[in-house]
Amino acid sequence: MNIHTKAVHSGDRKRTGGHVPVTTPIHTATSYFYDSTAQLDRVFGDEEKGYCYARYDNPSAGALEELLCALEGGDAALACASGMAALHTAILAALTDRRRSIVAADALYGATVGLLMNVFEPSGVSVRFADICDLARLRAVVAEARPGCILMESISNPLLRVGEIDSIAAIANEAGAALLVDNTFATPLLVRPLELGAHFSVHSVTKYLSGHGDVLGGAVVTNSPHAEPLRALGRTIGPVLGPFECYLTMRGIKTFPLRMERQCANACRVASWLAAHPRVERVYFTGDPQHPDAAAIRRLFPPNLYGAMVSFEIRDAGREEVFRFMDALKTIVPATSLGDVHSMVLYPVMSSHRSVSPKHRERMGIGDNLVRLSVGIEAPEDILADLEQALA
């Protein structure tokens, strides 16, 4: 079934009594009871399918999780209260019965770096960073570190590097490690990590999947061997997404492939335009034929779909000049997120990578003149006109 059809139909239309609602209702109940306590006991013990307590399961969450599995090609999912809650839970599940060691990509979202360094390392998990786009070097680091988990992003934040997920999955399997991919930037429209051998695919559903700037949420999708550890962690630590947010996410996903296709097309035009602008020093875009990972992108992504993120460096700009540019924008929103229907601009030094030390940012290649643009679904000529007047 095509992903457009899955996005519209999967997870919905469960029979409730004698009728079938066309969309999944918002189930706000926190607890459930049955005709007999014996039946409730069987539900609690997973001997009978059903609901007993909302931290364990909820019909709205269950429908969303079924939809996410359909989109990602997974066997189990957990809807979480934020993308970071999803990532934290996924790493814990990945390390279940594995060595407490992580090899992470050296290009990651700043909060992810913070999670690794400020939460996992102090709790006794060793963390090593490696260039996941250099397979020979990655293989050497993995052989030395013997990790229980390899962590990467399908498209890195904010410099848009793309690793060969299938090749990295092979390295992970050889080492007995789980491969965890944050797929937020690429979305299941561009790449489905589980189908390429990854063990976990994580999303901030706040971004492209819900797509309208009105949901804070995350999700983990995994395969059968990791389903029970993920479910157990969800029940124990309770990172679950509320029913209203589940409903809004499902509503957003119905149009997600259409939105994403439009955003990808707009991003191509914006990136080309920026590359020719005299005030722009460098453009980072996965559709660039000269992209350092162009071969992997051609092999892993569908034709003409490169994602909707464009990062660029403003020539001779520092913090003050970047702020002036952002303040001059009229329709592009200077806000801390991405993937919404409207275009958004973010200054990584101020927001996404604020918690990363200046030296670490420098090693990551994030300079003070770097701006990250999430391209929306507006008419492309209006996006370009706003950029033109703000760069003037």
Q: Of the residues 42, 55, 269, 354, which is catalytic? A: 55
**How far is Cα 201 from Cα 153, in angstroms, rounded to an integer?**
9
Where are the strands (E) in 53-93, listed by range? 76-80
Told to judge if 359 belongs to the known catalytic residues of this protein, a careful annotator would answer no
49 included as an active-site residue: no
CA distances from 21 to 11, 15, 17, 247 (A): 12, 7, 10, 13
CB 73 within 8 A of CB 223: no
Instruction: Report how far residue 263's alpha carbon sits from residue 354's, in angstroms, rounded to the nearest whole number.
Output: 27
Annotated catalytic residue 182: yes
CB 167 within 8 A of CB 139: no
Output DSSP code: residue 26.
-
Among the listed residues 161, 192, 207, 361, the single catalytic one is 207
Amino acid at 136: A
- In the residue annotation, 324 being an active-site residue is answered as no
State the CB neighbour count (10 A cutoff) for residue 251. 16
- Beta strand 344-346 pairing with 370-374: antiparallel
Distance, CA of 327 to CA of 321 (rounded, Å):
10
E strand spans, the chain: 76-80, 101-105, 126-130, 149-153, 178-182, 200-203, 218-222, 280-284, 309-314, 333-334, 344-346, 370-374
**For residue 30, what is the enclosing H or E element?**
none
CA distance 24 to 60: 7
Selection from 356, 380, 383 nearest residue 368 by Cα: 356
* Tally of CB atoms within 10 A around 367: 16
Choosing from 6, 51, 57, 109, the catalytic residue is 109
Q: In what order do the strands lie in the sheet with 76-80?
A: 76-80, 218-222, 200-203, 178-182, 149-153, 101-105, 126-130
Candidate list 51, 56, 57, 182, residue with the active-site label = 182
Q: How far lies 90's CA from each of 80, 94, 143, 169, 202, in Å?
A: 10, 6, 23, 16, 7
Catalytic residues: 55, 109, 182, 207
